[in-house]
């Protein structure tokens, strides 16, 4: 593939600082062909599936990509919106609200773009866009509060791959994790308190995090410990006794042992024990997506009620909650320290940028 030559450096070009807000990704449609493209990219990442390529790729292309896309497409269809995938909708909204928060703080020169590790808009595409606009300093901010090699490190891999193709690199900074950030914990607590103010409190609160293979823990991945710390801090902030709070892991894939306890079997056991109402909240997901809206709000709900439970609530993710956007702005600001924002855009230029950003979002 031919790469277009980079334009000559302009000595009078103003320097800018930008934030790239990166989430996992999503297919561009709830169809089998779209899922096949998305899963091929996602499951080909050696950070995601740590099986030797010679063993894994024949399984992926010979079995999984033949059978799974249609099943996954049917699941996506149950949560798809007129604007597209919920994850894409919320990720764009979060980037827009973060830019607004910076502008309200007098930092309107900061650019914020959303990106997806898999699918579109890709990390490379958005970094190209920022560089074309004159960004010389970029903060990479993953939408993963808890660090994992399967997620956070994979985002960094995509940035490094893009960087390897550039002659003039921007300065780069990376946010590794914010699992114990006080403002993040406060935003989680407020989300739950708002739900309980409207619906009352449950008999049990289940905090469900995305699972990873157990071997990642023994290999040195801090994800498990960081999930437990988030849960502990949130429980302490809410004043919940330990017996009312359970931490579980969802989305197991394959036959290997993953982090335990698993979410759905835990909910089945609670239903069988006669627990009347459970609320399930997913602190590791900052935007509602297939894993929260279908796996939890539909499948887990059904499993709990079938096992004898009476009432099941899925508590929405942080999404674009003002407390969360405030927390995110604080996290980004700490990592931006020492970097000038860049020249403030004129009002007309700022309006034009907003129009371009909305247009890009509509096409993404």
Query: How many angstroms separate the CA atoms of 67 and 36, rounded?
Result: 10
- C-alpha dist (Å) from residue 360 to 129, 295, 353, 355: 11, 29, 10, 9
Query: How many angstroms separate the CA atoms of 40 and 34, rounded?
Result: 10
The answer on whether 210 is annotated among ligand-binding residues is yes
How many CB atoms are closer than 10 A to CB 255?
A: 6
Torsion angle in degrees (nearest 10) through CA of 102, 333, 22, 285: -100
The answer on whether 199 is annotated among ligand-binding residues is no
How many CB atoms are closer than 10 A to CB 242?
A: 8
Percent helix, strand, coil in the chain, to 5, is: 50, 15, 35
HSE, side-chain direction, 13 A CA sphere, residue 290: 18
Q: What is the CA radius of gyration of the chain?
A: 21
Three-state secondary structure string covering 167-207: CCCCEEEECCCCCCCHHHHHHHHHHHHHHHHHHCCCCEEEE
Q: Which two tokens stand for residue 143?
A: 């939408």
Backbone dihedral angles phi then psi of residue 326, each to the nearest 5 degrees: -65, -40
CA angle 162, 165, 167 (to 5 degrees): 120
Query: How many angstroms separate the CA atoms of 140 and 154, rounded?
Result: 12
- C-alpha dist (Å) from residue 88 to 22, 111, 202: 11, 19, 30
Residues comprising the binding site for Fe(2+)? 210, 291
Residues comprising the binding site? 210, 291
């Amino acid at each position: 593939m031919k790469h277009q030559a980079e334009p000559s450096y302009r000595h009078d070009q103003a320097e800018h600082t930008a934030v790239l807000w990166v989430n996992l990704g999503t297919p561009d449609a709830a169809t089998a062909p779209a899922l096949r493209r998305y899963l091929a990219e996602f499951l080909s990442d050696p950070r995601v599936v740590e099986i030797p390529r010679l063993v894994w790729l024949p399984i992926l292309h010979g079995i999984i990509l033949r059978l799974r896309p249609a099943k996954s497409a049917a699941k996506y269809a149950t949560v798809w919106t007129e604007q597209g995938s919920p994850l894409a909708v919320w990720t764009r909204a979060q980037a827009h609200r973060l830019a607004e928060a910076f502008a309200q703080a007098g930092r309107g020169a900061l650019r914020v773009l959303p990106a997806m590790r898999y699918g579109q808009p890709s990390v490379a595409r958005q970094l190209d866009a920022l560089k074309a606009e004159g960004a010389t300093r970029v903060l990479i901010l993953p939408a993963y509060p808890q660090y994992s090699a399967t997620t956070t490190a994979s985002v960094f891999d995509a940035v490094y791959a893009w960087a390897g193709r550039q002659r003039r690199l921007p300065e780069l900074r990376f946010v590794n994790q914010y699992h114990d950030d006080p403002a993040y914990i406060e935003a989680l607590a407020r989300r739950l308190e708002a739900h309980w103010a409207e619906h009352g409190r449950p008999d049990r609160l289940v905090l469900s995090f995305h699972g990873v293979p157990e071997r990642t823990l023994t290999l040195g991945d801090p994800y498990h410990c960081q999930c437990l710390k988030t849960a502990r801090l949130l429980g302490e902030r809410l004043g919940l006794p330990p017996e009312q709070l359970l931490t579980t892991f969802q989305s197991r894939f394959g036959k290997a042992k993953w982090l335990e306890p698993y979410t759905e079997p835990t909910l089945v056991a609670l239903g069988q024990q006669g627990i009347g109402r459970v609320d399930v909240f997913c602190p590791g997901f900052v935007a509602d997506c297939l894993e929260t809206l279908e796996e939890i709000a539909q499948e887990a709900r059904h499993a709990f009620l079938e096992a004898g439970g009476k009432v099941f609530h899925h508590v929405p993710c942080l999404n674009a909650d003002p407390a969360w956007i405030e927390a995110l702005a604080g996290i980004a600001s700490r990592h931006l320290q020492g970097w000038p924002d860049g020249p403030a855009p004129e009002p007309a230029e700022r309006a034009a940028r907003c129009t371009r950003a909305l247009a890009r979002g509509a096409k993404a």
